[in-house]
Amino acid sequence: MTRFALRVEFDGRPFMGWQRQSHGPSVQQALEDAIHAITGERTAVHAAGRTDAGVHGLAMRAHVDIARPIAPFRLMEAINARARPAPVAVLDCVEVADDWHARFSCIRRSYEYRIVNRRAPLTFEAGLAWQVPQPLDERAMAEAARHLVGRHDFTTFRSVHCQADSPVRTLDLLIVERDGARLYVRAAARSFLHHQVRSMVGCLAFVGMGRWSPDDVAAALAARDRARLGLNAPPDGLFFVAADYPDEA
């Protein structure tokens, strides 16, 4: 039995999320079905994190155990051929130790949220960014973001369906940057709660619109009450961008 680590890119629009679902297609299902077609084995593909319906991946890390002898490059090429036409691609495939785990070995996960701040409708980026037509003050958003960095109880920014044992998380990074009409909100932490990034982005957008002040974000955090959430941003603009491991630079 060989354990392979994968780096996976996917367009989340046609999927119900990463995890296999009974009511629709998933990224996990697309990969597992491709591997079954190649090897004849039914095996689980474990990921560094779960994503919601419509959320995208630029470099999701995952692993799979395969009994049949196969070279990593050949496995990668075969998965990419078999997964078509699903918008999923394996960018990298390597053999790893049996105790390497995509989820439990991960020490940091990073997300990027993309906002297009213009009145004209999206064409090429429809479904790949959140269009906000009213002007956004990125400096006020960045100031508000600083209130969320650190170790906090993120109950306000947690989905009511979140299954995590604790709402306490340590947010290592939350920054807001503008490039023309595009805003990027980048977040990093060891782990995130269900909907945490989208909820934080929604509240930062409220600040950018002038509907909230940066202090209102701090107050919402301190309330530890989901009812105090300003806005949950749509999944369109959210990308899983990186997973870091202690044995990698």
pLDDT for residue 138 = 97
Q: Which CATH class is domain 108-244?
A: alpha beta
Answer for the pair 208, 200: CB distance below 8 angstroms, yes or no: no
For domain 2-96, say whether CATH 3.30.70.580 is its number.
yes
pLDDT for residue 249 = 52
Q: Quick: pLDDT tens for 169-211.
A: 999 999 999 999 999 999 999 999 999 999 999 999 999 999 9
pLDDT for residue 22 = 79
Beta bridge partners of 126: 129
Residue 228 DSSP code: G
Give the separation between CA 37 and CA 30, rounded to whole angstroms. Answer: 11
Q: Quick: pLDDT tens for 12-53.
A: 999 999 988 878 899 999 999 999 999 999 999 999 998 999
| Helix, coil or strand: residue 154 | coil
Q: Quick: pLDDT tens for 120-167.
A: 999 999 999 999 999 999 999 999 999 999 999 999 999 988 888 999
pLDDT for residue 20 = 87
Which residue intervals of the chain bear CATH 3.30.70.660? Answer: 108-244
Which residues participate in catalysis according to the annotation? 52
Give the separation between CA 67 and CA 95, rounded to whole angstroms. Answer: 13
**Per-residue DSSP letters for 43-78?**
---EESS--BTT-EEEEEEEEEEE-S---HHHHHHH
Give the separation between CA 45 and CA 237, rounded to whole angstroms. Answer: 25
pTM of the prediction? Answer: 0.94
Which value, to the nearest 10 degrees, does the dihedral of the CA atoms of residues 70, 76, 79, 80 take?
A: -150
Answer for the pair 21, 203: CB distance below 8 angstroms, yes or no: no
